Amino acid sequence: MPAVIVHELVKKYGSAKEPVEALKGISFNVEKGELFGIIGPDGAGKTSLFRILTTLLLPDSGSASVDGFDTVKEYKQIRNRVGYMPGRFSLYQDLTVEENLQFFATIFNTTISGNYELIKDIYSQIEPFKKRKAGKLSGGMKQKLALSCALIHRPSVLFLDEPTTGVDAVSRKEFWGILKGLRAQGITILVSTPYMDEAGLCDRVALMQNGQLLSMNTPDGVIADFKYLLLAVKGPNMGKLLQALKLFDGVEDAYPFGEYHHVVLRNDGDQQRLEQYLREKALDISIVPVKPNIEDCFIALMKN
């Protein structure tokens, strides 16, 4: 049985007259032991989804189960077996590091020593500061404490809502290393992120926008679904180049991508014609086909 089953889930906010649909009937499964990423910008509906799955919010329609338990009728069983790290730091700021961990262990009828093995790699990094109040920790340390507290009862499914938002590239890499280690211990992990480049670190991903899933697949599968030829183009005047690219009739889309512009071509055969066109405009350029990444796919799906 899948660890998580989501079936046509709908969540609305606001008044009956002006409803805001945060989830527009989404469905997916997460298999046991999977590291599953929900990738999408703010406002996609990621947090609503996580709050429903952790039994903190009721859906308007549809259903969901975690470890075989219904999120509405059997919420108590779910609360005992999942770990949840919300997007906002939500530990007790005026308790110390150790007191916070102790508190969460006690609530779940366990002890720190009982499950220390699972959190050792993470908690040992903040243990030297265990007498410090949680509110006085740096961002990276808060994140590690929150993760330790979410893990202390050895949950079967771990929900992490945007754990890397606002975190620098080095700490992000480190955090994903930790997740890989937890997955190796058999914990199912659902993680949401607005950073497209983190998709490649998941077993499967769901790309989410405006309460809907745009695509769901392995990261390689999402990329294989990109049907166009993608070119990376670079020149001395990038602004002028982008304008010229957008005016070319064979171009489906063109947008800046780091030091290049990415150009989505409708027909593979158009590459030569494009080069010719840019040369006629006396634009000195380099042009190479590139493999799309998740962000290219997301942009293409958004514009569909």
Partner 1 sequence: MNNENMISAEGLTKRFGDFIAVDNISFEVKKGEIFGFLGANGAGKTTAMRMLCGLSLPSSGKGLVAGFDVYRQTEQIKKNIGYMSQKFSLYEDLTITENIRFYAGIYGKSNAFIKEKTARVLKQLHLEQEANKLVRSLPLGWKQKLAFSVATFHEPSIVFLDEPTGGVDPVTRREFWNMIYQAAENGITVFVTTHYMDEAEYCNRVSIMVDGRIDALDTPSALKKTFNAASMEEVFLRLARSATRSDA
- Contacts to partner 1 by CB under 8 A: 40-43, 125-126, 138-141, 144, 162, 165-173, 194-196, 209, 239, 255-259, 295, 298-299, 302-303
Closest CA to 154 of 112, 104, 182, 118: 118
Nearer to partner 1, 220 or 236 (CB): 236
Closest contact distance (angstroms) between CB of 236 and partner 1 is: 11
140-144, long-range: CB within 8 Å, 24+ apart, which pairs? 140/167, 140/171, 142/89, 142/91, 143/167, 143/171, 143/175
Smaller CB distance to partner 1: residue 17 or 258? 258
Do the beta carbons of residue 71 and residue 78 sit within 8 Å? yes
| Shortest distance in whole angstroms from residue 170 CB to partner 1 | 4
The least CB distance from residue 106 to partner 1, in Å, is 26
Query: Is the CB of 139 or the CB of 289 nearer to partner 1?
Result: 139
Q: Cα–Cα distance between 24 and 5 in angstroms, integer?
A: 16
Which sign, positive or negative, has the C-alpha torsion 48, 52, 58, 64?
positive
Between residues 58 and 169, which has the closer beta carbon with respect to partner 1?
Answer: 169
Helices 238-247 and 270-280 sit at what angle, rounded to 10 degrees?
A: 130
Residue 259 C-beta: closest distance to partner 1, Å: 4
CA–CA dist 8, 62 (Å, integer): 5
Residue 210, Ramachandran bin (φ over 0: left; ψ between -120 and 50: alpha; else beta): left
Q: CA angle 264-269-274, nearest 5°?
A: 60
Give the nearest distance from C-beta 168 to partner 1 in angstroms: 4
Residue 298: CB minimum distance to partner 1, A = 6
Q: Which is nearer to partner 1, 64 or 199 (CB)?
A: 199
Least distance in angstroms from the C-beta of 165 to partner 1? 6
Q: Considering the complex, state which of residue 108 and residue 176 has its C-beta at the smaller distance from partner 1.
A: 176
Nearest to 3 by CA among 162, 203, 251, 266: 203
Distance of alpha carbon 262 from alpha carbon 88, whole angstroms:
35
Nearer to partner 1, 109 or 304 (CB): 304
